[in-house]
Structure 1
Amino acid sequence: MNILRSPFWATTWRLIKDEVGLLVALAIVTGGLLGFLAIADEVIEGETAAFDRAVLLAFRQPGDPAATVGPHWLPAVALDITALGSIAVLSLIVVFTVSYLVLVRKRHAALFVLVAVLGGLGLSNMLKALVGRTRPDLVPGAPVELSASFPSGHAMLSAVTYLTLGALLTRVETDRRARPFFLVVAVILTLMVGYSRVYIGVHWPTDVLAGWCLGAAWATLCWMVALWLQRRGQIEPAGA
């Protein structure tokens, strides 16, 4: 008998993976919160103005901020991508996901998705009102946005939604080789949405960075709570 497959070693290996996973999750939550607080402090003090302006204008043609760099079709693509982080699109994704989970009687998982996303939305709106940063005014013809600029709601909510759904899919996928795929896709979508916000000129770069930091921290924190509840038998077990 292979000793590494014995019940003792199987249990030991599972505990080691759980501990490593907890440490990684804590590192993400802590790093995300510290990153957000550091950026917020610099933004409130006005220390990021030069950086934000330089990065935003780097996406525009020199001497003509109305024209973007890159191929002529890229602005239209950026608008399509930025819609993936809009309230309308994310709401549809969440509604369909929650509806499916309720239909298959995974009500606790459905509640987890709702709490994670709605909690992230509430946190984003509260911080926008608290900081009250104005939108960039460097790009003529940029889409009109009525909410405050900091943090980027698109960046934060796309991180919360896509990372939460990616984590859910990794828990039900039986093939270990395929599990990282869902989180990789979630990260790529989140990065693309944030990049598009700066590219079309509706957010300062630090808005997006702060949204990414806080969104990743919030999604990870919610997932840690869900795993804790799962181990206490108050949420569906892994693979269910």
Structure 2
Amino acid sequence: MNDFKRAGWSSFSVSRWVWVVGGAAVLAFAYLVWRGAAGDFLAAENRLLVLLRDSSDPGRGIGPWWMEGVMRDLTGLGSTVVLTLTTIGVVGYLCLRRSWFAAGLVAASAGGGAVLVVGLKSLFSRPRPSVVPHLATEVSASFPSGHSMMASVVYLTLAVLLGQLVVRRRERVYFIAIGLFVVALVGVSRVYLGVHYPTDVLAGWSAGIAWALLCWVVAVNLQRRRAVETPPRG
């Protein structure tokens, strides 16, 4: 029996989910390019960045003394080093399982996402926020947020791929929920640290989700062809 039917995911429901969420992500990104990258929300975004700082010292974030360290740790979850090590570790594990197509899917998703981030940043070349001091060092362009986008690409691709390797629906939902939670934390940390405008993060999430869903479609097609190996029962 087909693994999707056994898990309660018909091909129609999967396709509908992909089209709805993927289409919404693409439209959101297009809107953010049209309005956000052009600076239409700049005044409101600057006010938010200021509100996230200590009123007596703009060089300090709001909250308890340990908050800045927590935010730096969270933003590290979307760093190139962490995402690269995560991808290598997962690809290595899949190779040990001889899940060659799955390993190739993860590598292609992460690699393609990285190329896409560089291209988008070069295309828009939006300067970083300057209304508050940065609490982290960054040198690349601001739009879209690379940390937010690559976190979306890597963690959500891994989530949906892991969902192909289990049967129970609640396990699939758990993987996706954890992926979305981590992605959200990374994006929030970027705004808190003052290195991105909120629209940068929203654009990063939108583009990353769209790319991850493309990889989801590939994973579905591969499993239909029995190319993505599922673990034996028992």
Give the Cα separation in 1 of the matches to 2:19 and 2:172: 20
Aligned to 2:32: 39
Structure 1 residues 142-184: Cα deviation after superposition (integer angstroms, max 9, x where no partner)? 2221111100000000011101111122222234333211111
Deviation, structure 1 residue 86: 0.1
Note if 1:125 corresponds to 2:118.
yes
Aligned to 1:59: 52
The structure number with the bigger radius of gyration is: 1
Give the Cα separation in 2 of the matches to 1:12 and 1:218: 27
Moved more, 119-128 or 178-187: 178-187
Match of 1:82 among 61, 65, 75: 75
Seen in structure 2, the aligned counterparts of structure 1 residues 62 and 92 have a Cα distance that, compared at 3 Å, is: same
Aligned to 2:176: 183
Question: Quick one: which amino acid aligns to residue 129 of structure 2?
Answer: P
What is the percentage of aligned positions where both structures have the same residue? 39
CA contact (8 A) 1:174 1:239 kept: no
SS of 1:178's partner is helix
Structure 1 residues 61-106: Cα deviation after superposition (integer angstroms, max 9, x where no partner)? 2353212111111110000010000000000000011011111111
Moved more, 129-138 or 172-181: 172-181
Moved more, 220-229 or 31-40: 220-229
SS of 1:143's partner is coil
Give the Cα separation in 1 of the matches to 2:13 and 2:167: 20
Question: Quick one: which amino acid aligns to residue 107 of structure 2?
Answer: L
Superposition pairs of residues 56-205 of structure 1, within 5 angstroms: 56-62=49-55, 64-205=57-198
Question: Quick one: which amino acid aligns to residue 96 of structure 1?
Answer: G
CA contact (8 A) 1:171 1:239 kept: no
Seen in structure 2, the aligned counterparts of structure 1 residues 124 and 53 have a Cα distance that, compared at 3 Å, is: same
Give the Cα separation in 1 of the matches to 2:16 and 2:187: 27
Moved more, 219-228 or 149-158: 219-228
Question: Quick one: which amino acid aligns to residue 122 of structure 2?
Answer: A
Moved more, 26-35 or 45-54: 45-54
Note if 1:49 corresponds to 2:42.
yes
- The alignment covers a number of residue pairs equal to 230
SS of 1:67's partner is strand
SS of 2:59's partner is strand
Deviation, structure 1 residue 58: 2.0
CA contact (8 A) 2:26 2:206 kept: yes
SS of 1:214's partner is helix
Give the Cα separation in 2 of the matches to 1:177 and 1:162: 18
In the alignment, structure 1 segments of 5+ residues that lack a partner are 1-6
In the alignment, structure 2 segments of 5+ residues that lack a partner are none
Aligned to 2:228: 236
> Structure 2 length as normaliser, TM-score?
0.91
Structure 1 residues 97-120: Cα deviation after superposition (integer angstroms, max 9, x where no partner)? 101111111111000001111111
Seen in structure 2, the aligned counterparts of structure 1 residues 231 and 63 have a Cα distance that, compared at 3 Å, is: same
Moved more, 134-143 or 19-28: 134-143
Deviation, structure 1 residue 138: 2.3
